[in-house]
Structure 1
Amino acid sequence: MPNHDHDRGTGAVRIVGGALEMGLQRQQLRAMVTASTAGARCLSSGDVYMAPGHYSAAHIYAEAEIIVRILDGYAATVTWGDEGTAAVMRHEPGQDLYVPAGLAHAAINLSRTHPVLAYEVRSTPRFNEDVSPRPDLDAQLPLLAQQVQDEHVDRVRQAQARGELPWW
C-alpha cells in the first residue's frame, strides 16, 4: 500500500507509491489515489507497468470509466464491441485514451525491448476492484499482439531510416 500524508487543515493528501502488484488482468499496477489512501469518493488513480512484449488479459470494468495516459513507451489497446470484432488503437507518450465502463479491452506493449509506463485515472474510488476478466476473448490476443508488435518494429525501422529518433 502507498504511504500518504494528510494535510489536516485542507484535506490535501500526498501519496508515495508502494510496490507494483499483479492485477487480475495480468498487468502490474500500483494504486495511488484511492478511497483508502486519500479518502477519494469519486475517482482513483494508479501506475501501470508493462514489461517489454507483454500484453494483458482481456477484461472489463463494470463501473469505472478509465483514462490512460502513456508516460513512456508505445502501447496499443484492443477493444471489442458487442459484435465481438476487435479494434486496435495505438497510443504513445502524452496521449490519453478513454475507455467507457463495460467495454472489453486489453493492453499490448508494442515494443519487445522497452517497457511501457502509464498512469490511469478511474471513475471509482477503489482502484481495480471492479475488474472482470474476459477469458472468452483471450485466445485472440497472442496473434493480435504479434501483429501489432511486428507493425511497430516496421514503423521503428522506417523512422530510424529517416533519422527520426528516438524510437524503440
Structure 2
Amino acid sequence: MWFFILAELTVFAIFFIGFAIAEQLHSDMFIVSKAKLHPIAGLINTIALITSSLFIALSVRAIHLNQVKRSINLLVISQVIACVYLVVKIWEYQFLFNIGIDIETNTFFTLYFLITFFHFMHVLLGMVILLIIGINAKKGAYQEDISGFESGASYWHMVDMLWIILFPLIYVI
C-alpha cells in the first residue's frame, strides 16, 4: 500500500507542478477562471474530507482497542460524510457545465477538470477500500493483524491530504 500511495503522490505532484507552471505562464487567465469557481463549495469539500478523516482515525483507534462494532459504525459515518464531497463536487461540475464551461474552455479549466476529476476518482476508490475493510472487520478479519485496516485508512488519509493541497492551489491562491 505504501508503494501505491507513493506512486499516487508522485502523479499528483506532477499535476501540481504542471498547474503551477501553467498558472505562471497564463496568470491573467487563471485569475479570471478561478473567479468562476465556488470557493464555498471547495471549503465544504475540505471540511467534509477532513471530518471524514477524523472518523477514520477514530475507527482505527477503535479497531486497535478491539471495538469492532464501534469501528464499523465510525467507518459508516466517515462514508456518509465523504458522500457530501461527492455531491458537492458533482453539483460544482454541473454548475460549470450549465454556464458553458468544460474541459476545453481554457488551460485553467482543462487542468481543473483533469486534476479534480482524478481526485474524485480517488475518493471513490477510497470509499470502496473503506467499504471492504468494514466488511472484513465485520467478518472478524482484524482480530490478529490490523495492518490491512491501517493500510486502507492510510489510503483515505492520502486522498484527504491531496485535497488539502488542491483546495488552496485551485480555489484560493
Q: Shorter chain as normaliser: what TM range?
A: under 0.3
Say which structure is richer in helix: 2
Say which structure is richer in strand: 1
TM value normalised by structure 1:
0.26
User: Relative contact order, CA 8 A, sep 6+: which one is greater?
Assistant: 2
